[in-house]
């Protein structure tokens, strides 16, 4: 079937089998390989992307059912500068092998936007095989305080 996806602000047309997940459409058909395939069963969070601004699991989403804009980690940087959450991950050394990182970052962006009270609880759907958890939490908290001070300035 023919579908249209809006990914990171660009409109893309695809002809796919209904079985194709959003994750496979992004990675295999559109060459957008930031979202990772960890478990492919909705259990690890490595494939987390935003649909209509909300984090979802691309591996359990059929591409043909996506009606709203998709944002992946590739769409976060603006004007060649990393997103504040990406900057915080780099500064806090919040990764080891990096396989889970794009999913962690997409959830972290939502955590900062939603001003969540309990970072560890909110981030529990993103597993890290390297157990970089303390630094991931530190990065989310840093990004949150950066945002708070930016909000206070306006």
Partner 1 sequence: MRAFELTAPTTLDEALTSGATALAGGTTLVDLMKLDVLTPPRVVDINALPLRGIEVDPAGDLRIGALERMSAVAAHPQVYPVISRALLLSASQQLRNMASIGGNLMQRTRCGYFRDVAMPCNRRDPGSGCPAIEGANRMHAVLGTSDACVATHASDLAVALVALDARIELVSTQGGRSVALADFYRLPGDTPEREHDLRPGELIGEIVVPRLDWAARSTYVKVRDRQSYEFALCSVAVALDVRDGRVADVRIAAGGVGTVPWRLTAVEAALRGGPADEAAFEAAAQVAADGARPLSHNGYKTALLPRTVVRALLEVSRG
Residues contributing to the site for ligand FES (CB under 6 A)? 37-40, 42-47, 57, 59, 95-101, 128-130, 132
Q: Decide if residue 43 touches ligand FAD (CB under 6 A).
A: yes
140: its two tokens: 């989310």
Which partner from the list ligand FAD, partner 1, ligand FES, none does 124 bind, CB cut-off 5 to 8 Å by kind?
partner 1
Backbone angles phi, psi at 149, to 5 degrees: -70, -35
- Nearest-CA neighbor of 89 among 22, 15, 24, 144? 144
**Token pair for 109:** 């962006």
Residues 67 to 126 in contact with partner 1, rule: CB under 8 A: 67, 107, 110, 120-122, 124-126
Q: Of 12, 68, 8, which is closest to residue 35 (Cα–Cα)? A: 8
Instruction: For residue 40, give the 3-state DSSP assignment.
Output: coil
Question: Could you tell me the smallest distance in angstroms from the CB atom of residue 136 to ligand FAD?
Answer: 19
**What is the DSSP code (8-state) at residue 51?**
E
Closest distance to ligand FAD from the beta carbon of 43 (Å): 5
**Rule CB under 8 A: which residues touch partner 1?**
1, 17-19, 21, 40-42, 45, 48, 54-57, 60-62, 64-65, 67, 107, 110, 120-122, 124-126
């Amino acid at each position: 079937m023919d579908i249209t996806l809006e990914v990171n602000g660009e409109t893309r047309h695809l002809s796919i089998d209904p079985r194709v997940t959003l994750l496979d459409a992004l990675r295999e058909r559109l060459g957008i390989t930031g979202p990772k395939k960890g478990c492919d069963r909705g259990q690890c969070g490595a494939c987390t992307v935003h649909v209509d601004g909300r984090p979802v699991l691309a591996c359990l989403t059929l591409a043909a059912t996506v009606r709203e804009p998709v944002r992946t980690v590739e769409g976060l940087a603006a004007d060649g500068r990393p997103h504040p959450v990406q900057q915080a991950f780099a500064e806090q050394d919040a990764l080891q092998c990096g396989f889970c990182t794009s999913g962690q970052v997409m959830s972290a962006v939502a955590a900062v936007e939603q001003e969540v009270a309990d970072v560890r609880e909110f981030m529990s759907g993103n597993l890290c095989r390297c157990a970089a958890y303390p630094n991931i939490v530190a990065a989310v908290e840093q990004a949150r305080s950066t945002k708070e001070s930016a909000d206070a300035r306006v």
